A = this chain, B = another copy of it.
Amino acid sequence: MPGPKKIRFGGDYNPEQWPREVWDEDIRLMRDAGINLVSIGIFSWALIEPEEGVYDFTVLDDIIGLLHAAGIDVDLATPTASPPAWFYRKYPHTRAVTRDGVPLAFGSRGIVSPSSPEYRLAATAIAAKLAERYAQHPAVVLWHVHNEYGAPITESYDDASVTAFRAWLQDRYATLDTLNAAWGTNFWGQRYGSWDEIDAPRTSGTASNPAHRLDFHRFSSAALLECFKAERDTIREHAPQPITTNFMAGICPSVDLWQWADEVDIVANDHYLTAEQDDNHIQLSRAADLTRSLARGKPWILMEHSTSAVNWQPRNIAKRPGEMRRNSLAHAARGADAVLFFQVRAGQKGAEKFHSALIPQAGEASRKWRESVALGADLTALAPILGSQVHARVAIAWDWTSFWAQDLDWRPSVDLDHRERVEAFYSALWRRGVTVDFVHPADDLTGYDVVFAPSLYLIEDDAAANLRDYASGGGTLAFSYFSGIVSSNDDVPTGPYPGQLRDVLGLVIEEFLPLRAGERTTLADGSIGRVWSDDIELQGAHSVTDFADGPGTGRPAITRNGFGEGTAWYLATALDGADLDGFVTAVLDSADSTYSPISDLETVVRHGDDTDYVFQINHGALDAGAGIVGHDLLADRAVSSGDAVPGGSVRVVAVPRADG
């Protein structure tokens, strides 16, 4: 990104919601807090194109000018997430339609069909206008296309989507015979005889063809990506700045961000705590690690998070003193070089007025504002870390396609929950102090000590081969249950489960043995399992521990298999807490992967050219983290070995590297 070599600090700013006199106060406050980047224009389509083809850039010119004069850079958005009222009146068929056939109404946000030709035309037209006008403006350092693609609506069942879906299918399958074979349409007599018989998978009498639904998920993600690329390419014709869009990695599961990450110039992410979740600071770390992984290790932008409560959760719990600071610096610790917020000033009208902001309703005379100012100072002090990177020796497999497939109807148990399992494994690693990369199972896995796959129901054939190569080359894989069951089209490979993993795991599953609601199963080592068990027949692997009761009694619960130079573990039930920690530890030990258990002190290292920046974030109430020697960037003072991090506080210690 052009501009000063600073950690970027700021957020979404919507001056059009206030009279002109408030703008000056806003800019004064931004300067007081050290804000150096704001995102504008995200919802401004109706403002700058009040009638079709009639443009008015007055407000935008003014505010960009004022910001520039104040030394604040601009992340300029295309407003295409929210076409104006006149657009829908003129093109009512561009509205997204629900699976039940209800066209969504204007008056909220995010209701356009991504496959609408009229929308694509209008979106690229306004993107072009903006790019032409502001490409050379010295304040504009970044382009922000659209907003949160996929939220709130990913799939649309409108006519244009059906037409586009058919074209996408023709591109994917070429012939109907191929499609019929891939989808298994001989089941339930669903064979297609012509392309125009294929509809979107609308509400039917009972479960729809799963391959049909899975492909509609894929198509819907791809259709949104096409929208992004069209705008990006349009802007690129005029503008030299980097172009991005704000992902919702780790929160919104409806687009395949592995595909998207390759298309943006710099990865940007929005993250919001699940306020009532006990370990939400750990889940924040997970989202940040996932975002860094999407960025392939490069620094990234935290485009939105919240200073305190949001407005759209059941109970919008406020952040306690110090919590915003810890949250912000945890993102920075895991690779963010920009810490931005939704939003600069709290709204007074509309659906999100109870969302927190850098400038709260309570104004300057408030703890929240004082914390905003303090965070600005912290981020200024962190300038040395710019560009430094995080290195991980352990990875977790993450595949949106597999998650979509697993969430389709009629799985063996409604208690199967990939998100819960990934979170549980991530938490166990976090508690061991292990920094984690997320990987697509077809990615190059070289260099990881261990790859965990807590829930990987669908594995495409190339990914299965890749995992096999990794293990046979000396890697350590650790799967848990209901993984490797189907291939690309939700189809079970011939032979026993898990068809994609039998050889590498050295076992077959004769039958799934899901547990009843609330049922527990005890393992021979005393661990307690939930949700699942398997009827396993070993074929090379050995049993680490067996089921001691329940439907799997006497059958293996944890297995380990030597495969080539490497090792593959399998865990056939849902372990929690110390039991899961034990499994994870055993796997790490088997791979000689180092770790150092922590309780509440999150520790992450960003590696600079010749300096390590050790982030120590104390989520607990007690002092912790003594034993490091270096210089605390935040407090600007030397850290000696006896200095601990007070409860609730954060330290970033610059430690010159021996190899530096």
B-binding residues in A (CB < 8 A): 14, 16-17, 43-47, 50-51, 79, 82-86, 88-89, 96, 98, 100-111, 152-153, 183-194, 196-212, 276, 308-309, 311-312, 314-318, 320, 347-354, 356, 360-363, 365-368, 409-415, 489-497, 508-517, 535, 537, 551
A207 contact from B103, B183, B312, B494, Cβ within 8 A: B312
**Beta-carbon contact of A203 and B508 below 8 Å:** no
A186 touching B17 in the complex, CB below 8 Å, given contacts A191-B47, A309-B412, A516-B276: yes
Q: Which B residues are in CB contact (< 8 Å) with A353?
A: 491-492
**Beta-carbon contact of A510 and B46 below 8 Å:** no
Q: Could you tell me the distance between the alpha carbons of A190 and B111 in the complex, rounded to whole angstroms?
A: 12
A495 touching B361 in the complex, CB below 8 Å, given contacts A187-B17, A191-B46, A193-B51: yes
Say how far A181's CB is from chain B's closest CB, in angstroms.
Answer: 9
Q: Which B residues are in CB contact (< 8 Å) with A208?
A: 105, 107-108, 351
What would be 24 A-B contacts, judged by CB atoms less than 8 Å apart? A14-B187, A46-B190, A50-B191, A79-B189, A86-B194, A89-B194, A105-B200, A105-B201, A105-B203, A105-B204, A106-B190, A106-B199, A152-B205, A183-B349, A187-B350, A206-B351, A209-B350, A309-B512, A315-B515, A316-B412, A354-B412, A361-B495, A365-B537, A368-B511
Q: Could you tell me the distance between the alpha carbons of A395 and B202 in the complex, rounded to whole angstroms?
A: 45
**Beta-carbon contact of A363 and B308 below 8 Å:** no
Q: Could you tell me the distance between the alpha carbons of A103 and B157 in the complex, rounded to whole angstroms?
A: 14
Q: Which B residues are in CB contact (< 8 Å) with A510?
A: 360, 362, 366-368
A497 touching B361 in the complex, CB below 8 Å, given contacts A43-B187, A107-B208, A489-B349: yes
Task: Given contact pairs A43-B187, A105-B202, A316-B512, enumerate 9 new A-B contacts (beta carbons under 8 Å).
Answer: A14-B186, A44-B189, A46-B191, A46-B193, A100-B102, A107-B199, A188-B351, A362-B511, A366-B496
Say how far A540's CB is from chain B's closest CB, in angstroms.
Answer: 15
Say how far A153's CB is from chain B's closest CB, in angstroms.
Answer: 5
Say how far A288's CB is from chain B's closest CB, in angstroms.
Answer: 24
Q: Could you tell me the distance between the alpha carbons of A426 and B96 in the complex, rounded to whole angstroms?
A: 46
Chain B CB within 10 A, most for which of A17, A197, A200: A197
Q: Could you tell me the distance between the alpha carbons of A368 and B365 in the complex, rounded to whole angstroms?
A: 66
Say how far A19's CB is from chain B's closest CB, in angstroms.
Answer: 10
Which partner residue on chain B sits nearest A19 by CB separation? B181
Q: Which B residues are in CB contact (< 8 Å) with A315?
A: 412-415, 514-517
Which partner residue on chain B sits nearest A362 by CB separation? B496
**Beta-carbon contact of B204 and A108 below 8 Å:** yes
Q: Which B residues are in CB contact (< 8 Å) with A413?
A: 314-316
Q: Which B residues are in CB contact (< 8 Å) with A152?
A: 205-206
**Beta-carbon contact of A184 and B349 below 8 Å:** yes
**Beta-carbon contact of B104 and A101 below 8 Å:** no
Say how far A403's CB is from chain B's closest CB, in angstroms.
Answer: 18
Q: Could you tell me the distance between the alpha carbons of A211 and B108 in the complex, rounded to whole angstroms?
A: 12
Q: Which B residues are in CB contact (< 8 Å) with A193?
A: 46, 50-51, 84-86
**Beta-carbon contact of B516 and A350 below 8 Å:** no
A110 touching B43 in the complex, CB below 8 Å, given contacts A197-B85, A314-B413, A366-B510: no
Q: Could you tell me the distance between the alpha carbons of A365 and B496 in the complex, rounded to whole angstroms?
A: 9
A205 contact from B153, B409, B509, B511, Cβ within 8 A: B153
A314 touching B107 in the complex, CB below 8 Å, given contacts A152-B205, A193-B86, A517-B276: no
A188 contact from B183, B211, B350, Cβ within 8 A: B350
**Beta-carbon contact of B492 and A184 below 8 Å:** no
Say how far A58's CB is from chain B's closest CB, in angstroms.
Answer: 14
Q: Which B residues are in CB contact (< 8 Å) with A44?
A: 189
Q: Could you tell me the distance between the alpha carbons of A415 and B535 in the complex, rounded to whole angstroms?
A: 39
Q: Which B residues are in CB contact (< 8 Å) with A496?
A: 361-363, 365-366
Q: Could you tell me the distance between the alpha carbons of A123 and B320 in the complex, rounded to whole angstroms?
A: 59
**Beta-carbon contact of B109 and A43 below 8 Å:** no
Q: Which B residues are in CB contact (< 8 Å) with A490?
A: 349
**Beta-carbon contact of B16 and A186 below 8 Å:** yes
Which partner residue on chain B sits nearest A44 by CB separation? B189
Say how far A536's CB is from chain B's closest CB, in angstroms.
Answer: 11
